Structure 1
Amino acid sequence: MDEAPDTGNMANTGKAVLPLDHAFEPSEEAADHYINRELSWLAFNARVLAEARNANYPLLERLRFLSISGSNLDEFMMIRVAGLVGQVQRGIERVSIDGRSPSQQLAAIREAVHELNAEQQSNWTELRAELEEAGITIADNARVDPESYAALKTYFLEEIVPVLTPQALDPAHPFPFVANEGAGLLFTLERESDGQQIVEMVLVPSAIPRWVRVPGDKAVYISIERLICRFADHMFPGFTIKGDGAFRVLRDSDIEIEEEAEDLVRTFRSAIQRRRRGQVIQLEMESDFDPVAEEILLEQMASSETTIIKTDGLIGVAGLSQIVEEDRPELKFASYSPRYPERILEHDGDCFSAIREKDIIIHHPYESFEVVVDFLRQAADDPDVVAIKQTLYRAGDQSPVIMALIAAAEEGKSVTAVVELKARFDEEQNLIWASKLERAGVQVIYGFVDWKTHAKVSMVVRREGDSYRTYCHFGTGNYHPITTKIYTDLSYFTADPKLGRDAAKLFNFVTGYVEPRKTGQLAISPIGLREKLYQRIDKEIANAKAGRPSGIWAKLNSLTDKDVIDRLYRASQAGVEIQLVVRGICCLRSGVEGLSENIRVKSIIGRFLEHSRIWAFANGEAFPSFKAKVYITSADAMERNLDRRVEVMVPIRNKTVHDQVLQQVLLANLLDTEQSWEQQSDGTYERAQPGEKPFNCHQYFMTNPSLSGRGGALEAGAVPMLALRKGAA
């Protein structure tokens, strides 16, 4: 590109656009039909970043979006870009869905990454000025008052210097190892006695906070690297500092497990150690880096495959999350406390009694995840419960779910936990949990070597009279105490015997490799979920061709599977109206004449992260209808989810729950205009126009009574009814 695009007015234009044709023209059909997965993800992160300029959000929440963008981009480089680099190095020429080779994708990605980094720095410059106006000062390169200066100097000398280890870079001192996500500084020094020049490296220990808050009532922050530079002369007496520069390293963090691994636990412990020493994927450094030191750094750490980011702004944008925690409630979203489901309260907190009466759907984070924990706690305490089986993908570092399972085992229950060791960046924590569960007497299973167990299922078997009843929880999100407060997900509780039998088959499949030949209700990947989706899409195609009502509505995090996309294209060509809410990656290109003119795609980015997965099919009736087939699932429409993960898709047959999922959760997402981005036929996204009656689905769910609390809430008018807009289906 001859000129850098003007990305400084994204808020004014309502666009968050990254080019989709970086330096390469793929085959005509592939380019016209599909969007590159990696560039689609970068476009998603551009939408996240655009929220940092959203004037409707409080200032610190805008800063939070900037830090999330930085964190997202770091992970993208460590996993997705690292994977492509590995393919290039091994000579793998597998082309992407849009026809690009790995090297062609890398070229396009690097250009887009540089643009995104530049946009992050532009956002930071603006937010920093606004923070100053709001009384939060970033003193990196600014003078501070004498009192603050003295406090910083004392803090540096007493708290920081003891943990720093300057190291000379010369033949007698090997170049030190810099860990993944590690940061450091290089100083070019001149000895005052003889004028000899040396270069010193100071690595920043990961235990030191990224930002130091100056003691006092004023909110004054200085980054750790600027603090070290400001007082570096105290570390190097007898030297004159001629130049300095800060840098940060990202390494290949993907973990590959060979199929013949005999001991998964030992293998993962070793792999986690190797991750810290992976090849350097990105080297981020200040633009005014001292030239002598820069040459040494590049020689020692960079390769032809390393992405070099030079910036005159902030290194490590993700670290801004620390400043977001400043105690300024007026600069953040109004606090929100999730509701506890009234249906459970009406049964005096007895989860089993409430579920026996009727199926329950819980919508997180608007309704408390505590009910899921209480379900397991009650199972642990109930003398009539004989067995608990639980999948654990991500559970966090303080998990009440883990504690409930341990309590159940200590009470003598038969407890089985399927702990997924391959949950990226949670492998180490999951190993810790597995060890604690085993010590408590829980039967811990690690599942398949080459498939991740991503399904979210909890199963409780309870003795009732002369028989046993199975209670199940099926979720679209993880059993994680933190993410359940910010991710929108669905929890479905049922005592349906068919679903109970299917859940038992699922666990037998994971724990004993006993593949279920037939299930009554559940669709399970990788042995039948894909086929179930095909069956439902094909039914809509047949209905459209026969002149009957047809339609497909779905809410997903990602849509990348080529075969599913092609099926949806065929449905569009047959006249099926399709509406998709895809938060992140979407390789489908909507609105293309003759291909997908009947498909609309939107992405919702807002206060909460949309995470639930829902499919709905008209099934021969106009929307909405109880005859519509509605499913919730743990799986996205990605090849990995459908072919290389254990996932479940659950049909919703109870009328009340069916109406809540279809006419409230899914429909509210389709109707949202205030947080939505609409995909254009060229694959770019533009903010939706709010229209005369703006609608914010997050605000709608925060301000309405509990959907799961009262079975007749919809019919009684306690929950405002929604209606699909004319021409939208």
Structure 2
Amino acid sequence: MTDEGASSSVDLDDPAYYLNRELSELRFQKRVLHEARDERTPLLERVRFLAIFTRNMDEFFMKRVGGLKQQIDAGVTERTVDGRTPREQWSEVLDTARPMFRKQADCYRETVKPALATNGIQVLEYDELTDTEQAEMRTYFDESVLPTLTPLSFDPAHPFPFISNRSLSLAVLTRKRPDEESTFTRVKIPPNRPRLVAIEAGSRYVRIEEVIRANLDLLFPNVEVVDTALFRLTRNAEVRRDEEVAEDLIDIIEEVIEQRRFATVVRLELEASAPGQVRETLVEQLNLTEQEVFELPAPLDFRDFEVLTDLDRPDLHVERWEPLPHPRLTPSRSGTDTRLDGTQDGDVFAKISDGDILLHHPYHSFEDTVQRFLEAAASDPDVLAIKAAIYRTASDSQIIQSLIDAAENGKQVAVMVELKARFDEQNNLEWVRTLEEHGIHVAYGTVGLKTHTKTALVVRREDDGVKLYSHIGTGNYHSETAKGYVDLGLLTSDGDIGRDLVKLFNFFTGPSLDEQFHKLLIAPVAMRDQFTRFIRREAAHAREDRSARIVAKVNGLEDPAIVRELYEASEAGVDIDLVVRDICRLRPGVPDISENIRVHSHVGRFLEHSRIFYFENGGDPEYYIGSADWMTRNLDYRVEAVAPITDPTIQAQLQFILRLLLADNRRRWVMNADGSYTQQRPDDERVIDTQAVLMDEARRVHESEEWTQGIARETDLPDAGLLIDGEASSAE
């Protein structure tokens, strides 16, 4: 560490100053669920947020609750920085999540479903169908659903059936005679049949589980169906093997994928009307505690309801958005392309040489920017080599195809594919095999680390020698998520950044990671120390009455050491705004500790995923973007890259984005000292919705042919003390 932090006037080891990671994550999920409950959200967007909430909570239980349960089973009693044991966290998490699921169910049944019906979209119960419609559904069941079903009974002749993760099931109790004990049978709701069966396309639907339930006599002839209940399991995804003793990383990943199928159950969602026998059987056979059972009214699992958002009902949707070409990378409508030096040139590399280019997805098209960059490299005869780090990518990735094309065109291609990208392991395994089949050198990962950096490097032969072109991004090389995630990317021909990437890619295939870099902040070797130095530098400026300000936009702020540094900077007088999408351990507004810190969170139609770091530095401000959050895992256990932004025009654009985020009164939430959040709403003032403003600006620039670097005008924002120039910002 280059600078020593000043000692605090309070004991910053006190657990009271740190929020719990898991409970903070659940507060974020409450904000997601609020979008489904907010009357200002268009109706089909509310349906989409019901589905998003289900997917998010599934992942939370698989990863976070599963991890806590593993620690409990292993006898771990060590307390977190907020003072909780794994068992205490597990218990609080389950108690906190329970009413959230009830609110989701109530939102659907009491608000969304009636509103859909009012607007001509009915999701009906089976007994609401006409006799004719029920007859049609019985025929549909007999011909199209029944052949796909496999009833699995549990009795002395049959063991308890295996039940896959997140599959929706119907428990059926049957008996042959009234004096017999009922037999438990599990019927899996077929995932390859439509969950919402269309009676009248676009207007009338019935859930497939209700079609199955109403026609069980065809599946169970000659027995009495006594009772039924829907249920759904969530299994632990935290299945690990010791990489240090492994012989082959691919074998490990394949084993992890297989073990997840049989992993411990961490949650049972059960229809509230379920008979006692069904509940008792499931709890006993799955080795669950009562606390892990979540009784909810049907329907369970809202993921499949997202199909309704495909309906052609613009009156019920958010405004349609198609990402636009970047102005610096788009030929003019006259058919010519003017470079900054006045010459005509359509070469993407010439444009990057003219000056750094900032990409902003989904406002800028991924296909017309990042994908075009790699496609151009693959076909350019002067390109000698391409290197890329892939964490997640689409199943039909054109990025991968560009790399294959490059290899077939005789270029040296090296790809780092992170096999340990959770839930994308199988997809990445398939891409590894495809790349290797085309003779491309593939690195799979690093022992003890995940490679999370989003970087690409193109080595090109030019008249004055070999030149390096780099892409540093905050998001994955994934064309589909780029349409719904807000991310930034830098295209640059800066030689120092290029040489830093050369070192980084050599680490992926070589024995060690260099600790000396020209410009990039690289984890795990230097990033923590450099961020700490930047925060302490702001504190030193504040103590000397120089302008001192920090604005950081991250997905998560979990690292206790960074939280402590921010507390000490606040005590020194540094003005701090933190835009944190979800997990945040820091408590803002605590007297004598964090009075100068405000924490904001945004939930909108796009997932905020970009990372931006701003340090006022006594009037000589510095900006950075990159792949790392202020999480311990990012700083110490992942390979990450954060790049400095030195171009004044791009700095102005980043400043505008940050100002806009801090002025937002439609999507912004402000954290209170107790960890709760208050949503900001306009009070007799115009609505400022960050994502809507940026979409409007992207359209304006595209339609006006203002081929400039920026996409936004600072004059569009009111001067509300929000300038990033050392002045305090208002947290309302």
Same fold, TM-score > 0.5, yes or no: yes
CA displacement, residues 537-578 of structure 1 (integer Å, 9 cap, x when unaligned): 111001000011110001010000000000000000000000
CA displacement, residues 42-96 of structure 1 (integer Å, 9 cap, x when unaligned): 0100000011122222101011111111111111111100100110110112212
Aligned 1:9-158 pairs, distance under 5 A:
30-125=14-109, 126-158=111-143
CA displacement, residues 613-645 of structure 1 (integer Å, 9 cap, x when unaligned): 010000112xxxxx3110002000000000000
1:297: how far off? 2.1
What letter matches 2:107 in structure 1?
N
1:719: how far off? 7.5
CA contact (8 A) 2:496 2:518 kept: yes
Give the one of 205, 213, 216 matched to 1:221: 205
Counterpart for residue 439 of structure 2? 441
Please tell me whether residue 171 in structure 1 is matched to residue 165 in structure 2.
no
Counterpart for residue 365 of structure 1? 362
CA displacement, residues 585-637 of structure 1 (integer Å, 9 cap, x when unaligned): 1110000001100000010011111100010000112xxxxx31100020000
Q: Please give the alpha-carbon distance, in whole angstroms, between the structure 2 residues aligned to 1:715 and 1:252.
A: 44
1:407: how far off? 1.0
Q: Please give the alpha-carbon distance, in whole angstroms, between the structure 2 residues aligned to 1:693 and 1:185.
A: 50
Please tell me whether residue 728 in structure 1 is matched to residue 695 in structure 2.
no
1:183: how far off? 2.4
CA displacement, residues 18-59 of structure 1 (integer Å, 9 cap, x when unaligned): xxxxxxxxx996443111000000010000001112222210
Counterpart for residue 501 of structure 2? 503
CA contact (8 A) 1:477 1:634 kept: yes
Q: Please give the alpha-carbon distance, in whole angstroms, between the structure 2 residues aligned to 1:393 and 1:305.
A: 38
CA contact (8 A) 2:559 2:632 kept: yes
CA contact (8 A) 2:126 2:210 kept: yes
Q: Please give the alpha-carbon distance, in whole angstroms, between the structure 2 residues aligned to 1:526 and 1:718.
A: 36
What letter matches 1:435 in structure 2?
R
Give the one of 634, 647, 650 matched to 1:641: 634
Q: Please give the alpha-carbon distance, in whole angstroms, between the structure 2 residues aligned to 1:711 and 1:595.
A: 46
Please tell me whether residue 689 in structure 1 is matched to residue 681 in structure 2.
yes
CA contact (8 A) 2:148 2:190 kept: no
Please tell me whether residue 675 in structure 1 is matched to residue 672 in structure 2.
no
CA contact (8 A) 1:249 1:282 kept: yes
Label 1:141 to 1:597 Cα distance change in 2 as closer, same or farther (>3 A): farther
Give the one of 616, 639, 652 matched to 2:645: 652
Q: TM-score normalized by structure 1?
A: 0.92
Aligned 1:571-582 pairs, distance under 5 A:
571-582=569-580
Q: Structure 1 unaligned segments of length 5 or more: list them.
A: 1-26, 622-626
Corresponding pairs, count: 696
Please tell me whether residue 300 in structure 1 is matched to residue 285 in structure 2.
yes
Label 1:79 to 1:196 Cα distance change in 2 as closer, same or farther (>3 A): same
What letter matches 1:391 in structure 2?
A
2:618 match: secondary structure: coil
Counterpart for residue 161 of structure 1? 146
Please tell me whether residue 406 in structure 1 is matched to residue 404 in structure 2.
yes
Aligned 1:278-677 pairs, distance under 5 A:
278-304=263-289, 307-346=292-331, 347=337, 349-370=346-367, 371-465=369-463, 467-621=465-619, 627-662=620-655, 664-677=656-669
1:148: how far off? 2.4
Counterpart for residue 5 of structure 2? none
Q: Please give the alpha-carbon distance, in whole angstroms, between the structure 1 residues aligned to 2:152 and 2:388.
A: 50
1:469: how far off? 0.5
CA contact (8 A) 1:152 1:214 kept: no
1:549 match: secondary structure: coil
Mean alpha-carbon deviation: is it higher for 301-310 or for 493-502?
A: 301-310
Label 1:431 to 1:197 Cα distance change in 2 as closer, same or farther (>3 A): same
Mean alpha-carbon deviation: is it higher for 349-358 or for 478-487?
A: 349-358
1:715: how far off? 11
1:438: how far off? 0.8
What letter matches 1:46 in structure 2?
K
CA displacement, residues 170-221 of structure 1 (integer Å, 9 cap, x when unaligned): 11111111111122222222325x7534424233255334613224345222
Aligned-residue CA RMSD in angstroms?
A: 2.1
Q: Please give the alpha-carbon distance, in whole angstroms, between the structure 2 residues aligned to 1:689 and 1:661.
A: 24
Counterpart for residue 13 of structure 1? none
1:321: how far off? 2.1
What letter matches 2:68 in structure 1?
L
CA contact (8 A) 2:196 2:305 kept: no
CA contact (8 A) 1:164 1:202 kept: no
CA contact (8 A) 1:456 1:474 kept: yes
Q: Please give the alpha-carbon distance, in whole angstroms, between the structure 2 residues aligned to 1:222 and 1:135.
A: 14
1:704 match: secondary structure: helix
CA contact (8 A) 1:184 1:201 kept: no
What letter matches 1:84 in structure 2?
L
Counterpart for residue 221 of structure 2? 237
Counterpart for residue 15 of structure 1? none
Mean alpha-carbon deviation: is it higher for 299-308 or for 681-690?
A: 299-308
2:617 match: secondary structure: coil
What letter matches 1:232 in structure 2?
L
What letter matches 2:392 in structure 1?
R
1:460: how far off? 0.3
Label 1:213 to 1:142 Cα distance change in 2 as closer, same or farther (>3 A): same
CA displacement, residues 300-352 of structure 1 (integer Å, 9 cap, x when unaligned): 11323871111123212333223333332321112111110121124465211
CA contact (8 A) 1:456 1:477 kept: yes
Label 1:266 to 1:73 Cα distance change in 2 as closer, same or farther (>3 A): same
Counterpart for residue 3 of structure 2? none
Q: Please give the alpha-carbon distance, in whole angstroms, between the structure 2 residues aligned to 1:297 and 1:698.
A: 45
CA contact (8 A) 2:182 2:226 kept: no
Mean alpha-carbon deviation: is it higher for 551-560 or for 195-204?
A: 195-204
Q: Structure 2 unaligned segments of length 5 or more: list them.
A: 1-10, 332-336, 338-344, 723-727
Mean alpha-carbon deviation: is it higher for 37-46 or for 94-103?
A: 94-103
CA contact (8 A) 2:613 2:625 kept: yes
Q: Please give the alpha-carbon distance, in whole angstroms, between the structure 2 residues aligned to 1:717 and 1:634.
A: 26
CA contact (8 A) 1:447 1:511 kept: no
Counterpart for residue 20 of structure 1? none
1:553 match: secondary structure: strand
CA contact (8 A) 2:532 2:562 kept: yes
1:697: how far off? 0.8
CA contact (8 A) 1:188 1:290 kept: no
Label 1:721 to 1:351 Cα distance change in 2 as closer, same or farther (>3 A): farther
CA contact (8 A) 2:126 2:211 kept: no
1:244: how far off? 0.9
What letter matches 2:583 in structure 1?
I
What letter matches 2:686 in structure 1?
K
1:107 match: secondary structure: helix
Q: Please give the alpha-carbon distance, in whole angstroms, between the structure 1 residues aligned to 2:711 and 2:311.
A: 44
CA contact (8 A) 1:211 1:323 kept: no
Q: Please give the alpha-carbon distance, in whole angstroms, between the structure 1 residues aligned to 2:16 and 2:143.
A: 62
Q: TM-score normalized by structure 2?
A: 0.92
1:254: how far off? 1.7
CA contact (8 A) 1:261 1:449 kept: no
1:97: how far off? 2.2
